Amino acid sequence: MTAGRPAAALLITGQELLLGLVSDANTRFLAHELDALGIELRRVSIVGDEHEEIAAGLRELAGHDLVVTSGGLGPTHDDRTVEAVAEVAGAELVLDEDLLTTIAAITAAFARRRGTDPALNRDGDRKQAMVPRGATVIPPAGTAPGLLLALGAGHVLVLPGPPRELATVWGRALELEPVAALRERAGTLLRHTLRVYGVGEPAVARAFAAAGGDAAGTRTTICARALEVEVTIRAEPERKAGLEALVAGLREQLGEAIYSEDESPLSEHVLVLLRGRGLHLAVAESCTAGLVAARLADIPGSSDVLLGGVIAYADEVKRDLLGVPAALLAEYGAVSAEVARAMAEGARAATGADVGVAVTGVAGPGGGSERKPVGLVYLHVSAPGLERGQEHHLIGNRAQVREWATVAALQLVRTTVSQITPS
């Protein structure tokens, strides 16, 4: 915490969050955005849909420079955020005629597409066009507008709940004067990210200490995730030299374990490496059953690298589609280094890909044995003139074993392909 930086809080509304029906998708997005602007997020409150719950939550957060709310802007009576914000801000609700015209046009277009009567929307349109007097209206991405108004010594920014609408209206709010002024006040916060694979969190913490820690005025977080450790170093602009020295020290301590110095996903790193070498990839997945390919296909434009592959859950599919010899399956079993290798080679042969990656393992909870316990996973990457196999013993439930096996497989593709000289 730095006293000088603008302080923010989030008020997330939605009874469905308090009932555990859905997960909150907006906090992480807004937290990351605020951090990137140098604005400190100090508190998140999640409350239900009742007027008094929202008002009480907002009153508690009113001391911050910026409070961002999400949700409760719909057309029905149980969407109460605007009323509650108006009450706490001491502003009466008034009909914004221009906004009503905008919203009515949007809902009429929806009604035409669905073949319903636009007149059914009249009450809802009007409800959504009621705004606290003095608020700045931010054009809607769906039907709900955003609102920005003064709250105590700071401001409250009211955003719709659906994540896509929230992100769009947030982007528009950044240009408004009070938010721009906060960004100006925040100035530049230097931030550098190092992502480490193959070294645990304690070892990274020791490397951080050996590199001098935060002695030069930096602020560092060390955060372990699925098989990787992310080190984020923040510094005020006048501490630039200190940040650079710490980064250099960490590079010296951790060497090749640092696989990325940006925030792009692992799958994107893998695709960039393959693309840079003109290589196509195919998968052969047993226990992960498509997760490796799906992770790569998350990235737009992945189709120039990823050809596809085979989900070989049953032994017959390993044999018939990947050409894994029945004798190999009988001798070593489906979960073995030998079968992983044959699967990777089979993926290349079946698809014509340059590189094949195979995953076979025991995800659990059943199917384990003393010799092949739950969490045992074999990986193999087969590339032109080069191959790598790995055995992992992963500890976790079924979902974790499959998730970590997916990450480990992508990392094995990355480290293997890195050995190939770009053409």
User: Is there binding between residue 338 and its own copies (CB under 8 A)?
Assistant: no
Tell which one of 63, 91, 313, 333 touches its own copies (CB under 8 A).
Answer: 313
Distance in angstroms (rounded) separating the CA atoms of residues 41 and 124: 33
Distance in angstroms (rounded) separating the CA atoms of residues 354 and 347: 9
Q: By C-beta, is 135 or 211 nearer to its own copies?
A: 211
Tell which one of 32, 77, 122, 133 touches its own copies (CB under 8 A).
Answer: 32
Which residue matches tokens 């409070």? 67
Question: What angle is formed at CA 307 by the lines to CA 304 and CA 310, rounded to 5 degrees?
Answer: 160
Tell which one of 303, 369, 418, 419 touches its own copies (CB under 8 A).
Answer: 303
Provide the residue type at 373 as one letter.
P
Distance in angstroms (rounded) separating the CA atoms of residues 315 and 320: 9
Q: Which stretch binds its own copies (CB under 8 A): 94-102, 265-273, 280-288, 415-423?
A: 280-288
User: What residues from 106 to 145 belong to the interface with its own copies (CB under 8 A)?
Assistant: none
Cis, peptide link before residue 202, omega less than 30° from 0? no
Q: Which stretch binds its own copies (CB under 8 A): 87-95, 236-244, 305-313, 336-344?
A: 305-313
Which residue matches tokens 């100035």? 187
Shortest reach from residue 13's CB to its own copies, in Å: 11
Distance in angstroms (rounded) separating the CA atoms of residues 82 and 349: 60
Q: Where are the alpha helices (DSSP H) in 189-239?
A: 201-210
What DSSP string runs through 65-111? SEEEEES--SSSTT--HHHHHHHHHT--EEE-HHHHHHHHHHHHHHH
Tell which one of 18, 105, 210, 248 touches its own copies (CB under 8 A).
Answer: 18
User: What residues from 48 to 107 belong to the interface with its own copies (CB under 8 A)?
Assistant: 48, 50, 53, 57, 60
Distance in angstroms (rounded) separating the CA atoms of residues 73 and 19: 19
Q: Which stretch binds its own copies (CB under 8 A): 209-217, 288-296, 336-344, 377-385?
A: 288-296
Tell which one of 320, 326, 331, 418 touches its own copies (CB under 8 A).
Answer: 320
Shortest reach from residue 115's CB to its own copies, in Å: 13
User: Is there binding between residue 343 and its own copies (CB under 8 A)?
Assistant: no
Q: By C-beta, is 34 or 266 nearer to its own copies?
A: 34
Tell which one of 97, 352, 370, 423 touches its own copies (CB under 8 A).
Answer: 352
User: Is there binding between residue 244 and its own copies (CB under 8 A)?
Assistant: no
Question: Residue 119, class by beta-carbon neighbours within 10 Å (0-12 exposed, 13-18 middle, 19+ buried)?
Answer: exposed
Q: By C-beta, is 180 or 224 nearer to its own copies?
A: 224
User: Is there binding between residue 241 and its own copies (CB under 8 A)?
Assistant: no
Distance in angstroms (rounded) separating the CA atoms of residues 156 and 154: 7
Tell which one of 55, 312, 329, 335 touches its own copies (CB under 8 A).
Answer: 312
User: What residues from 365 to 404 belong to the interface with its own copies (CB under 8 A)?
Assistant: 365-367, 396-400, 402
User: Is there binding between residue 289 and its own copies (CB under 8 A)?
Assistant: yes
Residues 232 and 189 sit within 8 Å (Cβ to Cβ): no
Token pair listed for 189: 């916060």
Distance in angstroms (rounded) separating the CA atoms of residues 218 and 340: 45
